Amino acid sequence: MRRPALLITGGLLTAIGVLWTLQGFGVVGGSSMSGNILWAFIGPFVALLGVVVALRARRL
C-alpha cells in the first residue's frame, strides 16, 4: 500500500517541478508564476525530489 502511494507522490512532484520550471522561464503562461525566475530555480529541486521519492519507492 505504501509503495504505490510513494510512486504516485514522486510522479506528481516531478510533474509539478517541471511545470514550475517551465512557468519560471515563461514557456507556460497563465499564472502569476509565469516569467518569475524564482520558480525556474525552485522547480528543478521539486522535480529532483520527486525522482528521488519515486526511485526510493521502487526499492521497497
What integer pLDDT is reported at residue 34 of this predicted model? 92
Cβ neighbours of residue 52 under 8 Å, at least 6 residues apart? 10
Helices (H) and strands (E) in the chain, counts: 2, 0
Q: 47 in the Ramachandran plot: left (φ > 0), alpha (ψ -120 to 50) or beta?
A: alpha
> Mind listing the pLDDT tens digit of every residue in the chain (60 residues)?
799 999 999 999 999 999 999 999 999 988 888 999 999 999 999 999 999 999 999 887
Q: What's the 3-state SS for 5-27?
A: HHHHHHHHHHHHHHHHHHHHCCC
